[in-house]
Structure 1
Amino acid sequence: MFSSLMTKKMMRAGFLLLVSSFLFSAPAEAAPIEKVNVSLDAVGGDLPPAVEKRVVSSISSIGSRVLVGKEESLFSLNSDAYNKVLADIINRVVIGYMVSDLSVNYGRDTAIHVTLQPVGKIIRSVDTVIDYGGLTPEAARYVAEDTADVPRLMENLLIGLPVDSVGWAESVSQSAGRDLLSQILPEFQANFEVESGENTKVKIYLIPQGKIVRSSRLTFEKTTVPRLLMLRAAEETETALSRLQGLPVSFVTRHSGEIASNMNEILKKDSFIEKYGIATDTTLVSAENMELRVNALTDHWVIRTEVWLDAGRDGDRNTSVEGMLGHYIGKRSTVFGEARLYPGPMDWDVFGGFSHQFGSFMNLGYKYNFVENSNHFITQIPLGDKFALRYDRDFKERENEFGFSYKIHNYITLEYVYNDEDGKWLRLIANL
């Protein structure tokens, strides 16, 4: 509606200037005006850049409509009269200011210089409030860090302007403000509510745009201590992570390093992790289903505990509890002892062994079963984050066992097992 009103005003003003041009004679041969350049200053100080840009744009539009294509001599020979008409047009269009001086250098490239003087009340203070909508306080805190300078920038934009100019072209406080917020916070749409006056109040409503984080989870990638011992730390961190739901995915991506670091600080403050010097690091995968990947490693020891439940396997070893204690030799090699208890009927396997990690591609090793007096060659190959292949060769019994596993979540893994002697079955592994 306003742009339509503005267009009508400019058309009337252009018509006035065009009609007045017929009151003066022009030489038969003269160069037409091809371009209009506008420069601007203000009495009492500079205009804010965003405001100056829009005022210059409006005056340039006026000049282009009424001057471009006309013979420059028509205007230069009667410059005083035309300058007065131009000043009157500008006074009608640029609300809140009046032209205190105007000079025009007519030619193919016509240059217009305008000095504006504010009229009426002046904005002396700006109170800016940002509404973060339905975001949790934790999520809003990250957004608030990005918008910390917005109140100061709004003051720079508005203080010193005439009160009447705030609504001019809906640009000073709203369009210019949106441009400002789109640079600072591109993941949100900003809507403005402005109560103009000498003490202007600005309220900014932020609306998330694009894909939104709808769920979150914490996943242990590598651990060298039982996960149950870190359960409290994991739950606290996962709760903190869940409070970031509702943020735009693109915003989380831009802040992923900071968020991951903050989550890691929560883990590090846990009494168990702190007491035993467990080194944690975190990586945030931003998506609608956000994931925090955690490594929790010790410098020297590897401790693992698992419970196995087999389904579809004959025999009396379908339930077992396994514990492993290992010690690093160098960065990639481990010596370990392993005990496996079969509760019904009570039976044991006890192993000692050695393994070596070849990058992230493969783990190869050897272990000896002290109960069965058997030698085993073992290998494990990870396939991404959730899948893995396992192979165990029993040289005494000349048996091969293959396993293909899928990690359902931090504490449960499902494995499909094939053994030369016992056939195939499913194994549910509780990663304690």
Structure 2
Amino acid sequence: MTGRLQLCLAGVLCVLAVGISCWLCLPPAACAGKTTLIEQVDVQVGAEKNLPEPVRQRMEKSVAVIAGQLLEGRKLTEVGQARADYAGIIQQVFDKVLVGYTVSRVAVDVQDGSGTARVQVFLVPWQDTIQKVRVDVSVEGMPKVAEALLQQDVSGMEEVFQSSLQGLPVAAADWSNGLLKKQVAAFLQERAPEFKADFDVQVAADTRVKVVLYPLLPVVRTVDLSMRSDTVLNAGLLTKRQKMQSAVDGLIGLPVPFVERHRQEFEHYLADVLNGDADFRRWSVDTQVALTPGEQMKVMSRSDSDIYRVRLEGWADVGNSWGNQHDTSLKARLHLGRMLSERSELFSQLDFYPQSVKWDWDVGYRYALPSGTWAGVRYDLRNDYFKVDVLQPISRKWLLRYEYRELEHHSEYGIRYKLHDFLSLEYAVDSRGSWLRFIGYF
């Protein structure tokens, strides 16, 4: 028993000695018996000429799939020893699916311990190549102003097609189809994300590409047009409404984000529709337009003159007993003014009282003080006396008013609130009492 035990212990010690020697003297991979496998394949595709960069990148992905199926997971030493055979297989497979080029040579290379195989593919292009690429971009169902803006947005789209097609063998054009769709989509996403594109490529030495752009939802479905003025007759704007309505209706169908992005250009375009009118030029009327983009879009135009003031108002007093007795509770007022400067106005004013069928005719002058207060004097040509008035704007909607009439030695005060562009409400007070006054603007 003792001899056998000694023999067993000696055997164990020998095994341990060999193991320790291996661990101390050999690399870890050798001790463990580890074999390096191919884990990654790098591919390079090249040609002396006529290989556009986007097409080259797509070919490299195709070769990477072929080489990956063939090489990944195999032993590094095995691939290194049979690299010529693997290169021949890759060349045969890729050459069968390749059109427009011939695979002249394939090289497979491995580096010890890296786990990476490098595959190089060399191509020879066929003779017939694309020499020129012409791109025609069109837009369907859009007004000229919108089409012009969109054409500016997508300027340079021809470079997308030229970079992928020019120099490519005619027979290899199919390699670019899927690639072009992605490139065009990416181009539009950056330059005109409110549109999508369909295109047709007519491949030849002189290749022609037809691109049609279509709007994406949401789009403008209705337009609510409002036309206003503080210095010319609102009724006069009605004669120009049809022209303006036709222009704003042309924006129906445009993508809402596109209108928002080009809001300033569309506002200028619509303003020029009225500013170019002969009557507006004659009266020195300038129009400003404000858009509120949306599926139900709102358009507000304001047309005013820096030189002339033409207003027609209707006054109706409620609770004015003295006015009822003298038939002055209803009045139509026509104001014709000429601005001498930004602060001064020379004007004529006609008041007509329909209840008594009588009228007053004043001529006057009004001046704006630095504080914003308007002070004016009028002369009544019919009754031969002076009137004085003071207007003090408090805000965009509130106004204080004072008027003194020399003939009657009569003062009247009022505070006015503008309900909207066509109607104001005033509370008036004088020595006879107080009442409400409605003032309509026509």
The two structures share one fold, judged by TM-score above 0.5: yes
2:375 corresponds in structure 1 to: 366
2:311 corresponds in structure 1 to: 305
Does the Cα contact within 8 Å between 2:164 and 2:176 map onto a contact in 1? no
Say whether 1:186 aligns with 2:186.
Answer: no
2:440 corresponds in structure 1 to: 428
Distance (whole Å) between structure 1 residues aligned to residue 414 and residue 317 of structure 2: 19
Report which stretch shifted further, 75-84 or 214-223.
214-223
Say whether 1:83 aligns with 2:84.
Answer: no
Say whether 1:406 aligns with 2:420.
Answer: yes
Q: RMSD of aligned C-alpha atoms?
A: 4.2
Residue type at the aligned position of 1:323: H
2:360 corresponds in structure 1 to: 348
Please give the secondary structure, in 2, of the residue aligned with 1:83: helix
> How many pairs does the alignment contain?
386
1:389 corresponds in structure 2 to: 398
Change (3 A) 1:151 1:265: same
Change (3 A) 1:169 1:352: closer
Residue type at the aligned position of 1:389: W
Distance (whole Å) between structure 1 residues aligned to residue 33 and residue 255 of structure 2: 64
Residue type at the aligned position of 1:80: A
Distance (whole Å) between structure 1 residues aligned to residue 281 and residue 117 of structure 2: 73
2:299 corresponds in structure 1 to: 291
Please give the secondary structure, in 1, of the residue aligned with 2:373: strand
Correspondent of 1:46 among 48, 51, 65: 51
Please give the secondary structure, in 2, of the residue aligned with 1:246: coil
Correspondent of 2:334 among 305, 322, 327: 322
Distance (whole Å) between structure 1 residues aligned to residue 412 and residue 286 of structure 2: 41
Does the Cα contact within 8 Å between 1:391 and 1:403 map onto a contact in 2? no
Distance (whole Å) between structure 2 residues aligned to residue 234 and residue 211 of structure 1: 27
Distance (whole Å) between structure 1 residues aligned to residue 402 and residue 87 of structure 2: 98
Distance (whole Å) between structure 2 residues aligned to residue 356 and residue 214 of structure 1: 47
1:249 corresponds in structure 2 to: 256
Give the gaps of 5 or more residues in structure 2: 1-31, 405-409
1:4 corresponds in structure 2 to: none
Residues 112-153 of structure 1: per-residue CA shift (max 9 Å, x gap): 433333458644555655452333455434434444554565
Change (3 A) 1:155 1:233: farther
- Alpha-carbon shift at residue 268 of structure 1 (Å): 4.6
Residue type at the aligned position of 1:87: Q
Please give the secondary structure, in 2, of the residue aligned with 1:166: helix
Distance (whole Å) between structure 2 residues aligned to residue 425 and residue 270 of structure 1: 36
- Alpha-carbon shift at residue 93 of structure 1 (Å): 5.0
Residues 203-260 of structure 1: per-residue CA shift (max 9 Å, x gap): 4332201332334566667765556677777754553443233222322333344444
Distance (whole Å) between structure 2 residues aligned to residue 290 and residue 92 of structure 1: 61
Change (3 A) 1:271 1:404: closer
Say whether 1:379 aligns with 2:386.
Answer: no
- Mark the structure with the bigger radius of gyration: 2
Map 1:18-417 onto structure 2 (within 5 A): 28-33=33-38, 35-47=40-52, 49-63=53-67, 67=71, 71-92=75-96, 94-107=98-111, 108=114, 110-119=117-126, 122-123=129-130, 128-137=135-144, 139-147=146-154, 149-151=156-158, 153-168=160-175, 170-194=177-201, 196=203, 202-216=209-223, 224=231, 236=243, 239-275=246-282, 286-288=293-295, 289=297, 291=299, 293-294=301-302, 296-298=304-306, 301-308=307-314, 310=316, 315=324, 316-325=328-337, 327=339, 329=341, 333-335=343-345, 337=347, 339-344=349-354, 345=356, 346-348=358-360, 350=362, 352-356=365-369, 363-368=372-377, 376-381=389-394, 388-393=397-402, 397=411, 399-407=413-421, 413-417=422-426
Residues 19-56 of structure 1: per-residue CA shift (max 9 Å, x gap): xxxxxxxx954545554443332343231x43333333
- Alpha-carbon shift at residue 106 of structure 1 (Å): 2.8
| TM-score calculated relative to the size of structure 2 | 0.69
Distance (whole Å) between structure 2 residues aligned to residue 295 and residue 111 of structure 1: 72
Report which stretch shifted further, 413-422 or 60-69.
60-69
Residue type at the aligned position of 2:375: Y
1:18 corresponds in structure 2 to: none
Report which stretch shifted further, 206-215 or 87-96.
87-96
- Alpha-carbon shift at residue 341 of structure 1 (Å): 0.7
Change (3 A) 1:304 1:168: same
Report which stretch shifted further, 313-322 or 364-373.
364-373
Distance (whole Å) between structure 2 residues aligned to residue 111 and residue 381 of structure 1: 81
Residue type at the aligned position of 1:429: Y
